Structures are given as structure tokens and as C-alpha cells.
Amino acid sequence: MAKLVVGKDVDSWCTRCKLMLAHTIEAVSGDRITRVHCNTCKTQHAYRPKPPAKAAARKGRSASGASSRGAANNTPQQEFDAMMRGKNPAAAKRYVLADRFSSGDVIKHAQFGLGVVRSVKDHDKIEVVFTDAQRTLVHGHRV
């Protein structure tokens, strides 16, 4: 095993992003990594070398909550693929908080990647389907 050094990068489960991502080691105790910070969201937390059991089990379920959103028995990847049919990923609009989006728009989010707007909620929120999950984002927000 490589020597554990503070400042080196290591993959860890991010408790905020809910993904396995690159983290920077912040503390080592003996031969164990104890604290890391996520290079994506900058959150500091205990080192977790793998996803929690609940998260792994949740990924296996297909209808958990999806039926209430009209996508029963579809994984986010399947739904994303279906919504992307006939659309050009190269023409994706960059997600910017101040911009407004419509249902069916393909967007490129800095953290979540490519997504398709499923619907507009209220006047300032959009439901976006990404390959790993559906997320509600704010749009048309002037700072």
C-alpha cells in the first residue's frame, strides 16, 4: 500500500455529494486515514473508503419514490437516455443560476454533468434528470 501522506488525493465517499469522489487527505492516524475534504464541494468529513450500505441498496431499487414522479421502474440512467433521444449533447446550455430553462432543454451542470429539464416547478425551480439522479435546481434567480 502507498504511504499515506497529508495532502495526497484519495477516493472517498462524500457525505454531502453522495458520490465516490476525489478527496484530499487532511489527517492520518498511524496507518489509517481519519479526515479528508472533498475536492468537489470542499466539505470536510471522516474518511469513508466505500459507500454506505444503505446507498448501495438504494441504487438497486428502481421504484423507490420514482412512481410519484411518473417514472416507475426506470433508473435515472434509463430515464436520462430516453429523454436524450434525438437531442444533441453538444448543444447543451450551460447551467447558470440567472438563466431560465424550459422543459426539454439539455443543460450542462458544472458538478452534475449533462441533464435534461423534465419540468418547470413554481416559477423559479426546474426538475432535471441526470444520469445518476433527478434533482431540483433553481433558475431565473437574479442576485
Instruction: Report if residue 1 sits inside a domain.
Output: no
133 assigned to some structural domain:
yes
* pLDDT confidence of residue 142: 77
Give me the mean pLDDT over the 110-134 stretch: 91
Mean pLDDT of 24-51: 90
Q: Which residue segment(s) compose the domain that 37 sits in?
A: 9-56
**Selected residue with higher pLDDT from 2 and 117:** 117
- The reply to whether 65 falls in a domain is no
Q: Is 92 a member of any domain?
A: yes
In this prediction the pTM is 0.50
pLDDT at residue 74, rounded to an integer: 75
What is the pLDDT averaged over residues 88-112? 93
73 pLDDT band, cuts 50/70/90, is low
Spatial distance between the Cα atoms of 53 and 55, rounded to a whole number of angstroms: 5
* Total count of domains within the chain: 2
Does a structural domain hold residue 103?
Answer: yes
Q: Do 24 and 76 belong to one domain? A: no
Region of 7 on the Ramachandran plot (φ > 0 left; ψ -120 to 50 alpha; else beta): left
pLDDT beyond 50 at 66? no
114 and 80 both lie in a single domain: yes
